[in-house]
Amino acid sequence: MLIFRNGTIVHERSGSTYKYETFHKEKRVISVSISPDTDMEFCPIPPGTFRIGSPDTEPGRYPDEGPQHEVTLSSGFYLARTPVTQHQWAALMGSRPWD
């Protein structure tokens, strides 16, 4: 897990630190250089309350899409903008479990 702390990103397992490469205010995206040839982009997910699940009356609704209920995020977090690639995983985790 990457932990964002005071302008630095800390890799929880290894203790390695990374600096924010760039912060795109217009897109609210943080770019992080994981290695010389590997970058990742993260988007902030703010704290707040929202409803999750679909209403019982929604046409085409599947049974596992409910019940609709309220969820509260007490603190925000950053989520990778795209799925993690094998290259990014190997650069960050130092392992290739798919081999």
* Average pLDDT per consecutive 10 residues, the chain (99 residues; last block may be shorter): 62 63 62 85 87 91 92 89 92 87
CA distance 38 to 43: 17
Residue 32 has a pLDDT of: 83
Is the pTM here over 0.85, yes or no? no
Residue 11 lies in a domain: yes
Q: 34: domain range?
A: 2-55+65-93
Residue 34 lies in a domain: yes
Residue 77 has a pLDDT of: 84
Residue 26 lies in a domain: yes
Tally of structural domains, the chain:
1
Residue 99 lies in a domain: no
Residue 78 has a pLDDT of: 84
| Residues 43, 49, 55: CA angle, nearest 5 degrees | 105
Residue 60 lies in a domain: no
Residue 35 lies in a domain: yes
Residue 70 has a pLDDT of: 94
Cα 2 to its chain centre, rounded Å, is: 9
Residue 98 lies in a domain: no
Residue 94 has a pLDDT of: 85
Residue 7 lies in a domain: yes
